[in-house]
Amino acid sequence: MRTMTFSGAIEDALATAMAEDKRVVIMGEDVQMLRVNLFTRFGKERVLAAPISESAFVGAAVAAAMAGLRPVVEVMLVDFIGVATDALLNHAAKIEAFSGGKWQVPMVVRTACGGGYGDGGQHEQSLWGWLAHIPGLTVVVPSTPADAGGLMLAAIEYESPVIYLEHKLLADYWLDYLGSGGRKTVKYDIPEPGAKGTVPDRWQPLPIGKAVIRRQGVDITMAGVGVGIYRALEAADILEKEGVAAEILDLRTISPLDTEALKESVSKTGRLLVVDEDYRDFGLSGELAARILEARIPVKYERVCTAKTIPYNRELEDQTLPNTKMIVEKARRLIGSYP
């Protein structure tokens, strides 16, 4: 076992993939600096500096993948993906279906997501549910260094387009760049086990579409991804003192969703609390409810999500993004009866 930061693990897994497979290339804005180690090791042909032209280079990555490359294309922050949406919505996601399954698009879109550092609602969104809404896109959201490396490798090996979301509270370099800027005068609620932890000696791809139980319990299932998992774990510690045993399911992949793992846990607990930093309405949280209802599993349900545009003010932001207090309150409501 080795210890690595979240971002170090992604980089290490990428380096492994790039060393083994010449078809793997990185492209994006500022990647020669952001990925300076990979740039130094693999050179400018494999780490391509792109102009601020997301619609062009994400679109180009789609066709490059169709024609044999394995691009890992970077869109700095997922918020900026708006500019490149057509390439994903109408092309990357559609080619395999349109070609009768004969032509695939093995590309990875790597992009940073999430809030909690006061940058405002145009730089802190999650959007995983919004992206997973589109058939043909696979969306993964790792929450630990081990998963970050394993899922990156899996994403590169996957035959269809994968959106790989890297939370900024876990990725130290993003937080330094966008948040602290070297300042010691600002503080963030960083989930330490997510930002740094043990990783396997040799990277193995993790199965895409497989959730993992982070904490076992029988009274209530809390499901989510990314930083939400750590907020839920904190809430579970508080609830434990009240005699409530929460089970925490880290979905890891949004689409395809591990419905079996969800059903199994909720069948046992009879209660589902979704913790989702993405927008509440028409997204992941509703989807989880639908899966349980479709399976005719009796359930009491609540959700803690982001319901509106993320405000710049730090306190308002903390009240807008899912936090431990809200999770505990909603869990208590589920454990009692609905008021």
In sequence order, the 6+-apart residues with CB closer than 8 A to the CB of 167 are 112, 113, 114, 141, 143, 194, 226, 227
Smallest gap from Cβ 126 to ligand TPP, in A, equals 17
Q: Contacting other proteins (CB under 8 A), which of 183, 202, 241, 296? A: 183
Q: Contacting ligand TPP (CB under 6 A), which of 63, 83, 289, 335? A: 83
| By CB under 6 A, residue 173 contacts ligand TPP | no
User: 241: which 2 tokens?
Assistant: 């003192």
Report which of 131, 14, 151 is spatially closest to residue 71, judged by C-alpha positions: 14
| By CB under 8 A, residue 21 contacts other proteins | no
Smallest gap from Cβ 117 to ligand TPP, in A, equals 16
Per CB under 6 A, which of residues 41..60 are in contact with ligand TPP? 52, 54
Residue 196 and residue 212: Cα distance in Å, rounded? Answer: 18
252-277 b/e (C-beta count within 10 Å ≥ 16 → b): bbbbebbbebbebbbeebebbbbbbb
| By CB under 6 A, residue 307 contacts ligand TPP | no
| By CB under 8 A, residue 50 contacts other proteins | yes
Question: DSSP secondary-structure letter at 100?
Answer: T
Residue 53 and residue 65: Cα distance in Å, rounded? Answer: 18
Which among other proteins, ligand TPP, none contacts residue 164 (Cβ within 5 to 8 A by kind)? none
User: 39: which 2 tokens?
Assistant: 């740039």
Smallest gap from Cβ 81 to ligand TPP, in A, equals 9
| By CB under 8 A, residue 41 contacts other proteins | yes
Q: Which stretch binds other proteins (CB under 8 A): 100-108, 138-146, 172-180, 241-249?
A: 172-180
Report which of 285, 290, 256 is spatially closest to residue 273, judged by C-alpha positions: 285
In degrees and rounded to multiples of 5, residue 274 shows phi and psi of -90, 130
Whether 123 is a known active-site residue: answer yes
CB–CB of 88/133 below 8 Å? no
Smallest gap from Cβ 181 to other proteins, in A, equals 2
127-165 b/e (C-beta count within 10 Å ≥ 16 → b): bbbbbbbbebbbbbbbbbbbbbbbbbbbbbbbebbbbbb
| By CB under 8 A, residue 141 contacts other proteins | no
Q: Contacting ligand TPP (CB under 6 A), which of 80, 173, 177, 312? A: 80
CB–CB of 333/302 below 8 Å? yes
Q: Which stretch binds other proteins (CB under 8 A): 118-126, 223-231, 261-269, 282-290?
A: 118-126
| By CB under 6 A, residue 29 contacts ligand TPP | yes
Please report, as ranges, the residues that interact with other proteins according to CB under 8 A: 8, 15, 18-20, 29-30, 32-34, 36-46, 49-56, 79-80, 82-83, 117-123, 176-183, 185-186, 309, 311-316
Please report, as ranges, the residues that interact with ligand TPP according to CB under 6 A: 29, 52, 54, 76, 80, 83
Residues marked as catalytic: 123
